[in-house]
Structure formats: structure tokens, C-alpha cells
Structure 1
Amino acid sequence: METGYSIIIADDHPLFRNALHQAVQLAVEGAQLQEVDSIDNLMQLLSDTGEVDLLLLDLKMPGASGFSGLAQLRNQYPELPVVVVSASEEPAVVQQAMRFGALGFIPKSAPMRTLVSALNTILEGDTWFPEGISLENAPEDNIADRLASLTPQQFKVLTMLSEGKLNKQIAYELEVSEATIKAHVTAIFRKLGVKNRTQAVIALSQLEGGEL
């Protein structure tokens, strides 16, 4: 398939980035490929880049744990086509990726031929998920939707809360006033339907569960 597709590979493992790079080149001749190794670098690249045709996203890399990175992306770039590439093959993990609107889920254990086939399928406008997995029998997970409703700055504040940082520390690191952080925290509690920091951190930890 020869196109001028713009594709980003987001993964912090150089060897796997290289494997994905090869798979993309085999699937899509002439693709414009860019690589990043953290969520912060990904967000910076997306803000600097025009239209992106496909993002291949590792769930676990610096700045993200579990689905927190994907939740941020869905909030800030709802139209961005995302394919999750993960070391986990648990049905619940795949179903969560589906909930967040991923176009596909490719296990890192997949052979090169499967990677190429999956990429071709997705770029032709279809979705690609491991066989036998769907959302039909999956339990509802409203916490994922609530977390996805947070703004990027609110998500950053929540992540820092989960690290045990005080409002004063967060305000200093984000270079805003403590009153601004308090307003963010109040908004976070309201959106998540929780009453305190502990409950908010537990909600985030549910999104970060598992070895992804």
C-alpha cells in the first residue's frame, strides 16, 4: 500500500520501536514515520504536527501507566486514530482499549506478518482486535469514561496527587497558583464523582492496573 500516511510510533523500547518501524514500512510504502519514547514527547509532537493518520501507542512508557496516556489522548485529540500495541493480551485490557475508542489492539507477541496485516486492515478503514474479544459481554466501566472527561491539566494534577504531592508542590511544579490547583482538584472530584483525594487516586489506580 503506497501512501503519504503520517504515522507516529510511541514506545519507550528501542527494539520494539524498530520492529514496528519495519512493520509499518512493509505495510505502508512511503509513510512519514516519527517516533517518541514518552507521553510528554508525544503530546509535544502532536501539538507541533499537523494531521496524523495513525498513532501506534504503547500503554506503558514514561508519563503513562495503564490507560492514563490513552485517556489523555482521547480527551485532547478525540479524532486521532489510535492503535494500542501492548505486552498484555488479557481480554479485559483489550476491552478497555475498545472503550477508549482505539481502532485496534496489537499484542507485542504478534509475529511480523500479523503486525503488517493488522496495519493494512486498520489503514484500509477497518478495526483490528485479537479474535474472540468484543465488548458485548464486558462489564460497564464508567470510571474510564469519567477519567477521559478530565482536561489534560486536570489529568496532570490527578497524576501528581497520586504521587502524594501537596497542592503547594503541584502549584510550584506547574507554575500556577495554589488557588488554581484547588480549583482543579475540586473539578476533578466533581467529574469523577468522588469526595476526597484517596478516592480520586483509587479511581486512577483502577485505570493503571495490570502489567501492560
Structure 2
Amino acid sequence: MTRRIVVADDHPMFRDAMRSAIVGAVPDAEILEAGTLSTTAEVLENAPDPDLVLLDLNMPGMHGFAGLVYLCAQFPSVPIAVISANEEPRVIRRAIDAGASGYIPKSASSEDMRAALDALLEGEVWVPAGADTGNAADDGDAEVTARIASLTPQQVRVLMMLSDGLINKQIAYELGVSEGTVKAHVSAILQKLGVISRTQAVILARQLAEEADAPQEMVRRAANER
């Protein structure tokens, strides 16, 4: 049975490395690629029944966990596993709490990559062996993640646009809706996030994006090691 796997990462060299790793583990896989959040969404819209998405949290447009929440909400039947150079336990836990089906370090060995793909394609959750994620996210982390995950896909998009500095009129144009609809989304976002202003919502969203960041040296090293 052919497996359709989407590799979503903005580093072409790492996508090539992932393609080789996938072919070694799943020889009959059909591999699709994307380099931004928007192109990932387009691929998922157009590709019939993807079996798995391997997602970089730091691609253009992602805003870290916000992009993950958006994709999980927009495509709830598609397993999405984060693949990242950031191996901090609290980040792994946040990704799982935000809806990810697994978390694969970019430094993973070929054996671990094969094990991860096998588990994820069988519908299991996979995290690195020995990753102590049980208490990695404190109660505050879990609460914030739950609030973000409670947003609808459209509300997540609005939040990301607010983080980019867009005003209501610009957001309405980008989404093809009225300004009144945008205002309603913003109100719902503030209520769900437990904040009282757009500024506080943006600060929270940017904090989530920063927590998902991996130092660029780690990214380069992981790509070279593949």
C-alpha cells in the first residue's frame, strides 16, 4: 500500500535528507514537499488522504505552535508530527498538547527515524525514547496551550495575522470577509485566550512562537548529520 507523506520544511537540504530517510524506511512512499505554512495547507487541501505530515515549527508563516494548532484543526484526520532541532522536553510536551501525533528530533538516527515513521503510520504517538515529557510542561504551559488549541482554524489565522501587525481591514481583505466578521473573531480570541486586548493576545502568540524556535546552529548541524 502506497503511503503519502508530506515533508514540510523550509530548508531544501533537510527536505532532501528527509526524502532519503523516508524512502529507506517506507520504500513505496509518495512524498510531497512544502516550504511554508500556506503551501503546506495547499498540499493538504489538494492531496487526497495524506497518511502523515512531518512539520517544521519554524517555517515561514508558522508562528510556532499557532501554525501547528491551525493545521491540526483544519485537517483533523491527518496525523501531524513535528520534526525539529529543538529537543527540550517542555517543547515536545507543548507540541503533543497542541495536537501533534509525534515529535521527531532532527538529530534522530536512521533507526529512530524508521521506528518513528512505523509508529506514526500505524496511528501511534511517537516521542524520542527517554524524553521525560510527563512533567515537562507546567500547569501554566498546559493551560495556555489548551486555550490556543480551543481556537477555530479561522481564529488561529486571525491571531497569526494580528501577530504580523495587520489591522482589521487588511485581515478582512486577506480572508475575504467583512471587517465586522474580523472584529467578531478578535473578540472570541480575546475571550478564549483570557486576555483583554489585542496587544496581550499578540504577546502571548509571539511567546509561543519564540518557545518553538530552535537555534539556527542546531538546525544546520542536524541537516548536516542527516
TM-score, structure 2 normalization: 0.85
Partner-residue secondary structure (3-state), 1:97: helix
**Alignment correspondent of 1:192:** 193
Return the alpha-carbon distance in structure 2 between the equivalents of residues 107 and 98 of structure 1.
Answer: 14
Q: Is the 8 A contact 1:54 1:80 kept in 2?
A: yes
Aligned length: 210
Q: Is the 8 A contact 1:57 1:84 kept in 2?
A: yes
Return the alpha-carbon distance in structure 2 between the equivalents of residues 173 and 66 of structure 1.
Answer: 21
Change beyond 3 A, Cα 1:174–1:77: closer
Q: Is the 8 A contact 1:6 1:54 kept in 2?
A: yes
Cα drift, residue 123 of structure 1: 2.4
RMSD across aligned C-alpha pairs, in angstroms?
1.8
Q: 1:29 aligns with which of 27, 30, 33?
A: 27
**Paired AA for residue 190 in structure 1:** Q
Cα drift, residue 168 of structure 1: 2.3
Return the alpha-carbon distance in structure 2 between the equivalents of residues 156 and 87 of structure 1.
Answer: 25
Indicate yes or no: 2:106 matched with 1:105.
Answer: no
TM-score, structure 1 normalization: 0.90
Structure 2 unaligned residues grouped into runs of 5+: 215-226
Indicate yes or no: 2:39 matched with 1:38.
Answer: no
**Paired AA for residue 176 in structure 2:** E
**Alignment map for 1:60-71 (pairs within 5 Å):** 60-71=58-69
Partner-residue secondary structure (3-state), 2:42: helix
Cα drift, residue 23 of structure 1: 1.0
Cα drift, residue 203 of structure 1: 1.9
Deviations 1:62-121, CA, capped at 9 Å, x for gaps: 110221211101211223211110011111111111212322211112233332232123
**Paired AA for residue 167 in structure 1:** N
Return the alpha-carbon distance in structure 1 between the equivalents of residues 143 and 178 of structure 2.
Answer: 31
**Alignment correspondent of 2:91:** 93
Change beyond 3 A, Cα 1:157–1:101: closer
Partner-residue secondary structure (3-state), 2:93: helix
Indicate yes or no: 2:133 matched with 1:132.
Answer: no
Structure 1 unaligned residues grouped into runs of 5+: none
Return the alpha-carbon distance in structure 1 between the equivalents of residues 161 and 106 of structure 2.
Answer: 29
**Alignment map for 1:120-199 (pairs within 5 Å):** 120-138=118-136, 139-140=138-139, 141-199=142-200
Bigger RCO (CA 8 Å, 6+ sep): 2
User: Would you tell me which structure has more helix in proportion to its own residues?
Assistant: 2
Return the alpha-carbon distance in structure 2 between the equivalents of residues 120 and 173 of structure 1.
Answer: 39
**Paired AA for residue 132 in structure 1:** G
**Alignment correspondent of 2:219:** none
Cα drift, residue 128 of structure 1: 2.3
Q: Is the 8 A contact 1:95 1:134 kept in 2?
A: no
